Structure 1
Amino acid sequence: MEKQANNLTKNIMLKRYLGILLLLLIFTKYASAQDTTFDKGEEYILGGIDVTGVETYNDQSVISYTGWRIGQKITVPGEQISDVISKLWGLNLFSDINIYKTKIEGDKIFLEISVVELPVLADVKVTGIKERKIDDLIEEADLKKGKKVTEGFLANTKSYLTNKYKKEGFLNTKVNINTIKSDTVETSNEVKMVVAIDRGEKVKVGNIEFHGNEMLSDRKLRKSMKNTKQKVFGRFWKKSKFIPEDFEADLTSVIDTYKENGYRDARIITDTVVRQNEKTIDIDITLQEGDKYYFGEIDFVGNTAYSDQQLGRILGLKKGDVYNGVLFDKRIEDNTKPDGNTIANLYQNNGYLFSQINPVEVSAKNDTIDFEVRIVEGKLAYFQEVSVSGNERTNDHVIYRELRTRPGQLYSKENVVRTIRELGQLGFFDPETINPEIKDANPEAGTVGINYALTEKGSSQIELQGGYGGGGFIGTVGLSFNNFSIKNIFNGEEYKPVPMGDGQRLSLRLQASRFFQTYSFSFVEPWLGGKKPVQFSTSISRTLQFRYNPRTGDADKDQRFVITGATVGLAKRLRWPDDHFQLSHALSYQHYDLQNYNTSLFTFGNGYSHNFAYTIQLSRNNTYVNPIFPMGGSEWNISLKLSPPYSLFNNIDYGNLENDPEFQMINSQNQVVPDQPKIDQEKYKLQEFYKVKFSGNWYTNIVAKLVLKTGIEFGFLGAYNDERGVIPFERFFLGGDGLGNYTLDGRDNISLRGYPNQSLSGIDGSTVYNKFSLELRYPITLKPTASIYGLTFVEGGSAYDTFNQYNPFNLKRSAGLGVRIFMPAFGLLGIDFGYGFDPIPGEVEPSGWQTHFIIGQQF
């Protein structure tokens, strides 16, 4: 039995072995019969190439990229085949590549390159976010039509979108991407992408707990974490969302806080994020504080240009001071403040571009640390080439005259920073993207080049302004060309659509309501003669004011008040006290013509008045680069406008005019009485006055891009001759949005939000006023297409008829919030909601909420 079993087993094994051999023989025979195989290592002459599978490319393009040509020798199979396949894969255009032998004729071989093209993106659909954000998201993620849809592309897109929302605090974000065949195909490989985004809830920080801290309190350490905040009721200005990158930066800030207080060796042992639920996490941070240290000797090594005493004064630290590593580093070099008072800037501002300053800890004994500040001054650097790029409309000379860096000058970082400011203040370029590119720096030769890369933006504006005041709705239409070229005004080829590029300003303006019309024209040349920054300006205007007809409710054009005026001015940039100052002079003339225009303001209804005036103004503006949203600096001006003192030489006794027969009349009772309209006509036919105004704004960067604007204004209108009195022209009207600044009687409309327009001055206006304001601003975007920022404000002001009544602290107060949008084509647009806490004159209730629409004006 055992022998039979062994024989049976052997027979079975033999049959299986023979079966396997038979299968191998059949497979080999089948394989050798297929056209897809090549005789090993045979050399052929390439007789022809066919390409199959391409849809968006032509066959010849693929063949050309292989490098093969008909008639060349080719070994099949061989390295030439594998090299071509590698080349084609490298194009990232195909998802499959094969090379087949189609036939052999003698020593010629014919090949087929079969490819499958990668899918092409035809359309993108995004779900899970607001529709208005979809276009921006598609642009950010680079989901352009025609993009090749590879596995890597899909993975990178998913990763980008997931990380994008995690950075915004949505740690539970899930992104799902599917591709489907396009139903409106141009080619068979076009696909649609469907991106489904589920951001989930924002993850908030519940508690931040510190362990191991004995010298610094939990409260102080939490405060040092600028971006990661635990939930606190009522704190709306900083949300408690958790963003991993911000958290890592805040951990560094915690250590910096220790270094600022002498604890050089402080370190974080562990930081643990504990998820409480889908919406909340807690953070535990364990610290090792180490010992407290003090500064020992601080020696300067290698300095020849500046003495130890000079460098020591800038450093501001001495032996025995508590160690502050953060302050020490910032006094050496502070990259957050390009114009900071640092040792690095001292060298950089005086030609030492190639200087190197390295603080080195040389000794740490007990609790005292000694330092050496090692300085390699290098060779003085001079500008060899200074260029600009990116200006397509603005002529080079307009830019070059603003540059503070010139070929042959000693390098100065301060002058580079100032140049960036001056170019930004022109208003022709995007101030956020001005980039000074250092090039061809040669430490051996002591030379350096610099190119200012600019991005032009629209500088001309269509002005559309609206508001209520002066008895009704006031509308303004204007054209402002802020980069005009008057020399090309007769050159038809330069109209694109108007001559541009020379930095001049030309404005045409029409302002009107039912009761007045104003036409004005102005022109400004900022560099008269092109040699020095002497600004020439001129303007002409005409205003028609009509009386209200109570019967018809419309304007009575038989009762009118016409003003015709012209102004010529010169302004010069000063060099002392510094070149941020400007002194300007202006001569102006207005002719007032009253026809049957009787009001309480003008006691003579028929007559005329002349206003010859000279204005001198001193101003200073050193605000930072962006004039729309300054991050720092200040701007202020003080002006004096005055007429000639006619009373000194015309020998008229204005106090006794009523007794002069020439200025008397017989009334209905046959009595001799003063002819008041005639007296006023005499008083005001030549306006005699002086007018003092001051305004100032200071911009303080609080944190990040949060800016505090502090403003002060004051104005006073006075008379040389008390008997002649203060003129009824040139007065101040306080309250509202400040719009309606038409030229009627030379008035100044002063904004004070939260109150109706001009409601805080009497019907005849005020002769003195003051205003104080605080405004917090934060930008939403500062792109050249549109700059948008939000604001909150508190302000107060007061206006009085005489200086004897003036009390600068008896203010009408208000507070509110608003938003501003600056678009190059339309200027500044905005809306404010202001609450007036005090009643307007004549009422007992607070003014309450007022809405102010702002078009073409800033507060």
Structure 2
Amino acid sequence: MKRFISCEPLITLLLIFTTTFSVAQELSFEDGKKYILGGLEVTGLQSYNEQTVKTYTGLRVGQPITVPGDELSEIIKKLWSLELFKDIRFDLVDIQGDKVFLELHITERPTLSDVKINGIKPRKVDDIIKDTDLKKGKKITESLIANTKNYLENKYKKQGYLNTKVAIAVAADTSQTNAQKMIINIDKGDKVKIKKMIFEGNEQLSDAKLRKAMKKTKEKRFWRFWKKSKFIEEDYRNDLSLLVDKYAENGYRDARIISDSVIKVDENNINIKFDIEEGNKYYFGEIDFVGNSVYTDRQLAAVLGIKKGDTYNGVLLRERIADDSKPDAEDLTNLYQNNGYLFSSINPVEVSAQNDTINFEIRIIEGKETFLDHVEVVGNDRTNDHVIYRELRTRPGNKYNKSDIIRTIRELQQLGYFDAEQIKPDIQNANPNEGTVDIKWNLVESGSSQIELQGGYGGGGFIGTLGLSFNNFSIKNLFNGEEYKPVPMGDGQTFAMRVQASRTFRVYSLNFAEPWFGGQKPVRFSLNLSRTQQFGVDYTNSTSNSIKVEKSRGFAITGITAGLAKRVQWPDDYFTISHALSYQLYEFNDYNIGLFNFGNGKANSIAYTLGITRNATAGGRIFPRGGSNFEITAKFTPPYSLFSNKDYESLRDRSIELQELRIDQGALTTEQAEELESVDQERFRWLEYYKIKFKGDWYTTLVGDLVLRTNAEFGFLGNYNNDVGDTPFERFFVGGDGLGTYTLDGRDIIQLRGYENQSITPYDELAGNNNSGGLVYNKFSLELRYPLTLKPSASIYGLAFLEGGNAFNNFQEFNPFQIKRSAGVGLRIFMPAFGLLGIDFGYGFDEDLLPSSIGNGPSGWQTHFIIGQQF
């Protein structure tokens, strides 16, 4: 909060030191005569108690007092210091013998009853009142008015409004005693722009290079949207040093700005003129290392990366010694600090300059090798200590290592239990003599569980969804009633359950994961159980307002998956290798969904999945700011047909023949339909396939908090035996928001904004529809992200995207450059209790693959709502 120092005008000082005494009667007395105080009366008070003021003066009836004298002057000073009064004086009322009777007359300052601010947006008023401390009841002084005026003018000048004018007026408030209203009129005017930057004296570096060197001070150009051309004094002063650094990067060590001036062009434009002295160009000479014993000269020279004869670059030299802009930079300081030498210091010193060559000594004080003494974690109110300590790379007794601190920050961010923006280590009790240091990890818990509660209308009736996800669960306290707050939490486990139901389907799923299975190593165990039921619907006898659900007919999928994933050390410890074994049972009862050509029977799938993941993102799970995340998975079923005596070639040929006959005739006879069911039942009793998927995400911080996410994806579903054919499950459905509903049949729902859900699906001639999915897909994305707020209660960021992708029937048709393109904008909101919510507005530039869209032009604008999607 801004604080103001009150300064009274000169008249105040005069009042203090020239106390005015008036006599009610015609009396005379000698200066500085001693009296006994016979009485004291306080007049002029409006809101203060007379006795309170008397007590504060310290005067008592009957005490000796010199009139006039220093004691009375000190009392006046003391009362002035309260800043509650605008007039204070002592009057001599009467003298009776050796007794003196005084009157203390006080005029109170008015109090502030209301503030009205004109010229700014209403939502900014409260911030202004808070910053200037203009709260009701505050005494109005000349300094308060002057300081408020100066603060507001400077505030807006710093934002580029150099012509800001502020007028403050006060008026009596008749509804209150001794109160005044304050009216503040702010005229910011237009922002003052930089019309032109003029450089004189520069011969070695062009005007364009010098303008580019100034990061936040730019000339007015019609194409410049991101970096504005407004003049801000603080940014301008910082950019002046960048001009000098630009010369230092190019060998001109002695370059300096002789003068710079701001020239007013008109009310809204200025020119800036620079007079530059470049000096001579220099080169690096001998670079000697002094004081090093831990590393050899050759090792240090390799990190320094500067050789004799190189053009002098003062900025590069400074960065290679210690690059403050990157905590994990490859510089000499980090080289020592990553090996335990916290107290090392490295200083480059120019030892001689001969002609155009500068010789350096890199003087190193290595200090004592440093070890961690105490490591403390605070702020984890819900998460148990062992969940945090197992992720720490900083342990008591370990050698101090700066890279371990940076990596620990990243690991704690990835947990998702704490506010990623507030994870900062506090280095304490550094003792260079003993070589010890303490680290205190200050954490702020954020919500790690979500609830999903939805209701809507679709599929002929109401659809209700209830989902609970506890991402910091404690299963060992499942039967401990005292730990239910509202559920047992703190052991870092994941427990999720989801139920979705309508008149036509039901879905149940249960998930559990333990990230440190066995408690000793980062081995993640996961278990998933799922059950889907889809009921038959009779549309022929239904009315427009209802459908007839036949629960005796239906399709069900029961699945179970168990997995193990281990973090490995090679090629580096960002890699995780995962294994999963799954079984799914598909049951059909008088129900044909168009995937299989049989409506009665069963199909089985046993699959093993191998995954290799390298997650090296930085900045938290919600809003990564750097790094990358790669994932490749391979899913295999046993090649049953290789060990079977079935004639799959004949079964497939007969199936194709009957399907083609269905197309020609429009329908099959009862005998032909039963034969087709029997043939495909034999072909797909045990599903066999292999499925390869790749996904890569790159995050790059461009400017400030602006982050670019680059994404590439590819998937292929193949078979071992062409006679068996391609499995109708596990396929790729591209288009839309990327959210799966109740599909637990192994299909992959691929987001492609700007198109309807699952509309980029190739046409299957035999099936006669677009419902079968693709066997190959690829997708590319560019996404610019900018955070609006990253607070624990809610993280919000906006985005703009370019996207392209497609799905194909087979690998022969696959063309990575034949893509459906889109662009748009969106918003994401992450709230701990509800997970990720968002909305995207995407424009599809091409036709989708739905029959109804062929020949109708681009997909156009589509709105997508994102609920619970992963980051």
Same fold (TM over 0.5): yes
SS across alignment from 2:512: strand
Q: Deviations over 1:387-427 (max 9, x none)?
A: 23333333333322222111221111111111222222222
Distance 1:247 1:713 in 2: 44
Residue identity in the other structure for 2:566: K
Residue identity in the other structure for 2:812: N
Q: Map 1:443-454 onto structure 2 (within 5 A).
A: 443-454=432-443
Residue identity in the other structure for 1:722: N
- Whether the 8 Å contact between 2:730 and 2:747 is mirrored in structure 1 is yes
Match of 1:171 in 2: 162
Match of 1:14 in 2: none
Q: Map 1:175-574 onto structure 2 (within 5 A).
A: 175-178=166-169, 194-463=183-452, 477-511=466-500, 516-546=505-535, 550-551=539-540, 552=542, 556-558=548-550, 559-574=553-568
Deviates more, 1:302-311 or 1:645-654: 645-654
Matched, 1:608 2:608: no
Q: Map 1:599-748 onto structure 2 (within 5 A).
A: 599-657=593-651, 675-748=675-748
Deviates more, 1:504-513 or 1:297-306: 504-513
SS across alignment from 2:266: coil
Change (3 A) 1:673 1:591: closer
- Whether the 8 Å contact between 2:291 and 2:365 is mirrored in structure 1 is yes
Distance 2:383 2:99 in 1: 65
Distance 2:681 2:26 in 1: 119
Change (3 A) 1:741 1:99: farther
Change (3 A) 1:40 1:727: farther
- Whether the 8 Å contact between 1:465 and 1:856 is mirrored in structure 2 is no
Deviation at 1:611, TM superposition (A): 2.8
Matched, 1:791 2:799: yes
Matched, 1:825 2:814: no
Match of 2:6 in 1: none
Match of 2:580 in 1: 586
Residue identity in the other structure for 1:323: Y
Change (3 A) 1:698 1:210: same
Equivalent residue pairs, number: 825
Distance 1:646 1:59 in 2: 103
Change (3 A) 1:331 1:738: same
Deviation at 1:550, TM superposition (A): 4.6
Residue identity in the other structure for 2:203: E
Matched, 1:780 2:774: no
- Whether the 8 Å contact between 1:386 and 1:406 is mirrored in structure 2 is yes
Q: Map 1:104-143 onto structure 2 (within 5 A).
A: 124-136=115-127, 138=129
Residue identity in the other structure for 2:862: Q
Change (3 A) 1:162 1:505: farther
- Whether the 8 Å contact between 1:570 and 1:585 is mirrored in structure 2 is yes
Q: Deviations over 1:674-701 (max 9, x none)?
A: 7121222233333222222111101112
Q: Map 1:62-141 onto structure 2 (within 5 A).
A: 124-136=115-127, 138=129
Could you tell me which runs of 5 or more consecutive residues in structure 2 were left unpaired when the two chains were aligned: 1-20, 659-666, 763-770
- Whether the 8 Å contact between 1:741 and 1:747 is mirrored in structure 2 is no
Q: Deviations over 1:109-149 (max 9, x none)?
A: 99999988877666654433333444455556566667666
Residue identity in the other structure for 2:753: R
Change (3 A) 1:154 1:854: farther
- Whether the 8 Å contact between 1:182 and 1:191 is mirrored in structure 2 is yes
- Whether the 8 Å contact between 1:464 and 1:856 is mirrored in structure 2 is no
Deviates more, 1:98-107 or 1:320-329: 98-107
Distance 2:398 2:303 in 1: 25
Deviation at 1:316, TM superposition (A): 0.6
Matched, 1:846 2:846: no
Residue identity in the other structure for 1:294: Y
Distance 1:165 1:72 in 2: 58
Change (3 A) 1:234 1:79: same
SS across alignment from 2:324: coil
Could you tell me which runs of 5 or more consecutive residues in structure 1 were left unpaired when the two chains were aligned: 1-25
Match of 1:23 in 2: none
Change (3 A) 1:766 1:438: same
TM-score, normalised relative to structure 2: 0.84
Change (3 A) 1:355 1:684: same
Deviation at 1:174, TM superposition (A): 2.9
Distance 2:204 2:46 in 1: 72
Q: Deviations over 1:519-553 (max 9, x none)?
A: 33323333334433232333333323346655546
Q: Deviations over 1:280-324 (max 9, x none)?
A: 222222212111111111111111111111111111111111111
Q: CA RMSD in A?
A: 4.1
- Whether the 8 Å contact between 2:44 and 2:108 is mirrored in structure 1 is no
Distance 2:379 2:82 in 1: 33
Distance 1:47 1:501 in 2: 72
SS across alignment from 1:428: coil
Q: Deviations over 1:44-63 (max 9, x none)?
A: 8x999999969699988996
- Whether the 8 Å contact between 1:526 and 1:534 is mirrored in structure 2 is yes
Change (3 A) 1:727 1:353: same
Deviation at 1:159, TM superposition (A): 3.8
SS across alignment from 1:250: helix
- Whether the 8 Å contact between 2:25 and 2:94 is mirrored in structure 1 is no
Match of 1:13 in 2: none
Residue identity in the other structure for 2:782: L
Matched, 1:757 2:750: no
Deviates more, 1:84-93 or 1:491-500: 84-93
SS across alignment from 2:292: coil
- Whether the 8 Å contact between 2:145 and 2:168 is mirrored in structure 1 is yes
Deviation at 1:590, TM superposition (A): 2.8
SS across alignment from 2:239: helix
Distance 1:59 1:514 in 2: 81
Residue identity in the other structure for 1:266: A
Change (3 A) 1:471 1:209: farther
Residue identity in the other structure for 1:852: H
- Whether the 8 Å contact between 1:54 and 1:115 is mirrored in structure 2 is no
Deviation at 1:330, TM superposition (A): 0.5
TM-score, normalised relative to structure 1: 0.85
Change (3 A) 1:204 1:73: same
- Whether the 8 Å contact between 1:395 and 1:501 is mirrored in structure 2 is yes
Deviation at 1:781, TM superposition (A): 3.1
Distance 1:353 1:626 in 2: 27
SS across alignment from 1:675: helix
Distance 2:284 2:607 in 1: 64
SS across alignment from 1:746: coil
Deviates more, 1:837-846 or 1:295-304: 837-846
Percent of aligned pairs with the same amino acid: 58
Change (3 A) 1:824 1:125: farther
Residue identity in the other structure for 1:748: D
Change (3 A) 1:191 1:750: farther
Match of 1:22 in 2: none
Distance 1:54 1:771 in 2: 77
Distance 1:292 1:645 in 2: 72
